Structure 1
């Protein structure tokens, strides 16, 4: 895969006309290239080779940088925010609305350090027309994949998505020599809540607990529901105290949240950091073992409390 890194270029080496002045280049390419049907078809063919939005932006940027000097490219739609890899802050941004007739797809913003000329503007508008349909298809595909990877009740990632993200997080940790942690949670007394108050109440408790977990993690962390009352958190780029902090936040939330405290919901937690010898199975099993020990300790405490009360 060819990757455009705008950090390394003031004006991209993809520009095959770099010996010409910028104005002469734009005028020539606009006249001879933009309206060349073969050139347009070649770009559209490349854009139709993927449904990955990041890759689409990369393919598009390689073409756009032939005509316009920019240091960043950003796409935003109602539910998506994407940044071209290597983008850096510029003096200003020039934003374009991407529309197909009355169908608003999103905005595409260029980080620029100098104004875009009228000719450049027209070139970009022409290129945007090539991007519209591939981008719309990629957004629809992304939405469908999100639904397939999402727990329908809580909106958290499901077990299938967890397996994919764990593999990716471990790969990145090994590659960048960073620390990745895994937190597993299993709710205590949840069956009693379901049996006593009904499944509607049980669903509300699960949804509220999912909201609590979202508040207990950073934006770079990921939270999942396996089904039932089992949850997991992948903590990337962690430090030594990250897992203990998350566990403390969860325990505090269980007592301070009005709904969860009302039903005296508890949660057994097991956590561990990945080591360099781990694969996905060994990493998960070690976290699961710590969760099991936590559940046994919770069961013993409940047993002691019950004995004393009788």
Structure 2
């Protein structure tokens, strides 16, 4: 397999992006390889780079394409992008002795901050080229961020800000794949509020909405940062618990049941909840995994028991 060196020999051998496999480069990228002078960016070079950056709206892919170009001029081992709505780390990034940050703006409109983990000082000539590369990145990056925001909204429940059913389906499939691949344990918790319909009927939907928002906030406080929380609609909620231990689901239920009577709004309406939960088994697909948790929830609602039902 042929390998293309994209850095001068003076660069650190620990540069994450110092070599690129020809097999991973597109035909356009290989063509651009022939035109790029390691000492400067010509107008033609710039147009080729912009063309490459405009081929995707995926932030991870965009940063990968950009890193390939930057690696010709900068000895770095990590690249990080952050803006108010998203934070991304380029795959393969590692910390270095120093970091260099650049704020990216279009006409004083803040797009985000790029941070490089650098292994060696940036020369004046390469610093100027880096600024040119940032100019190439600005508009493709702005479009990618806007696309990411739109996709996030499409995956979000408007009332509570939790993930919606569509997002749940995607995340459950991903979590199960990772659990089977790494032989880890993933749990699923389904829950709903008891007699929630009576709140809407007796006090109106605005009150019901407040109750749902408050319950969502309670659930947020009862899970780890690595757990994922969703609302399907109505008063139905789900929690995906990754890298779980055998006590994880019982701990979540205990926290939720303790928090409910301590909440002023939910205590006012004497609202409780039912939770059904289960762990993945190796024979599961998404349907069987969800169905088992749903059956556990159904049994819990039928007997109104406070004993955890893990199937």
**Residue 201 of structure 1 corresponds to which residue in structure 2?**
207
Of the structure 1 ranges 6-15 and 66-75, higher mean CA displacement relative to structure 2 is found in 6-15
| CA deviation profile, 1:98-152 (whole Å, cap 9, x unmatched) | 1112211010000123332322221211111111111111111111111111111
1:42 aligns with 2:48: yes
**Residue 237 of structure 1 corresponds to which residue in structure 2?**
243
Q: Does structure 1 conserve the Cα–Cα contact (< 8 Å) formed by 2:17 and 2:67?
A: no
1:121 aligns with 2:123: no
1:180 aligns with 2:186: yes
Question: Structure 1-normalised TM-score?
Answer: 0.85
1:276 alignment partner, one of 282, 286, 295: 282
| CA deviation profile, 1:229-252 (whole Å, cap 9, x unmatched) | 100011112222211111111111
CA distance in 2, matches of 1:89, 1:131: 23
2:174 alignment partner, one of 153, 156, 168: 168
Q: Does structure 1 conserve the Cα–Cα contact (< 8 Å) formed by 2:15 and 2:76?
A: no
1:91 aligns with 2:59: no
Q: Give the aligned length.
A: 284
| CA deviation profile, 1:52-88 (whole Å, cap 9, x unmatched) | 1111111111221122111211111111111111222
2:275 partner SS: strand
Q: Alpha carbons of 1:30 and 1:119: their partners in 2 closer, same or farther (altered >3 Å)?
A: farther
Q: Alpha carbons of 1:7 and 1:275: their partners in 2 closer, same or farther (altered >3 Å)?
A: farther
Q: Does structure 2 conserve the Cα–Cα contact (< 8 Å) formed by 1:7 and 1:88?
A: no
CA distance in 1, matches of 2:194, 2:49: 56
**Residue 19 of structure 1 corresponds to which residue in structure 2?**
none
| CA deviation profile, 1:150-204 (whole Å, cap 9, x unmatched) | 1111111111111111111111222222221111001102112222222111110
Q: What stretches of structure 1 of length at least 5 have no aligned partner?
A: 1-5, 17-28, 302-310
Question: Structure 2-normalised TM-score?
Answer: 0.85
Tell me which protein shows more helix as a share of its residues: 1
